[in-house]
Structure formats: C-alpha cells, structure tokens
C-alpha cells in the first residue's frame, strides 16, 4: 500500500482559516480489506472500498465570535481500480456539510465541534468531536 497526503492552510484573517487536504492511497495485489476507503464525513469508513482513492477536501472555519465559530466543508472521493471503471459518476463520492464550534480554551486550541454531513445515496452523519480531525 502506498499513501500520499498533502495539507495546506490559508489564514483569512480574524481567526478564519481555509484548509485543503488531498489524500491518495494505492494498493497492489492487496486483499480487499486493505483497499482504500472513502474517508469523508457522511460516509462510514470501509463500506465503499476501491483499490485507489483520490480524495480532495476543502474546509473553511469562520470565527466571528469570541467563543463560537462555524465550519463549512466539502470534499469528493474518487475510487478506481479492480472492478471500478474510474472516476465516473458511480465512483465519485461527494460530501458537504456545516457545523458549529465552541472554543473551550482558545489559547490551547481546545475546541468542541458539532457537524452535519451529507454524502450521496442517502449517506448522512451527525458528528460530535473534540479537536480537529486534520
């Protein structure tokens, strides 16, 4: 299995951040359990495997208040290889969502997130997490 991960963060001023992540995973002669999963909010990890996963995610964080913030995010995964035809409509997995953040200790970066994500084919998720995922 081979992986390539790229992350970049752009400060937008006043505590606002735009982040971009691209994850890639390739497998060769691997068992199906090692195939690349869709790693987007709104999808259950491992339910949609493919031999190659190219994943692009964008995330914006808007911090207009001292203790509260909002998060908007979108991404798309493309699975191909094996029995998949490539990045056609059936092999693309989009995800969009929004959430709210509560900064428990801003100086230490401790934050609580409540987010809602929507994927295709009825995939949805309500997520509560502490900290940042990436």
At 114 the pLDDT is 92
pTM value?
Answer: 0.70
Q: The CATH number of the domain where 109 resides is what?
A: 2.40.160.50
- 37-47 burial, b for 16+ CB within 10 Å, e for fewer? bbbbbbbeeee
- 100-115 burial, b for 16+ CB within 10 Å, e for fewer? ebebeeeeeeebebeb
At 51 the pLDDT is 44
Q: Burial, 33: exposed, middle or buried (Cβ in 10 Å; 0-12, 13-18, 19+)?
A: exposed
Give the pLDDT confidence of 48-107 residue by residue, as tens digits. 555 444 555 555 555 555 678 888 888 888 877 666 666 777 778 888 999 998 888 877
Domain region containing 88: 2-130
Q: How far apart are CA 36 and CA 1, in angstroms?
A: 9
Tell me how many domains the chain contains: 1
């Amino acid at each position: 299995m081979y992986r390539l991960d790229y992350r970049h963060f752009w400060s937008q001023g006043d505590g606002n951040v735009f982040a971009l992540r691209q994850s890639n995973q390739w497998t060769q002669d691997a068992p199906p359990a090692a195939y690349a999963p869709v790693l987007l909010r709104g999808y259950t990890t491992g339910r949609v495997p493919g031999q190659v996963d190219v994943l692009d995610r964008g995330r914006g964080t808007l911090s207009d208040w001292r203790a509260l913030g909002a998060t908007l995010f979108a991404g798309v995964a493309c699975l191909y290889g094996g029995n998949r035809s490539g990045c056609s409509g059936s092999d693309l997995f989009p995800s969009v969502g929004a959430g709210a953040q509560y900064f428990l200790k801003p100086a230490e970066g401790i934050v609580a997130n409540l987010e809602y994500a929507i994927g295709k084919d009825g995939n949805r998720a309500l997520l509560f997490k502490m900290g940042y995922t990436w």
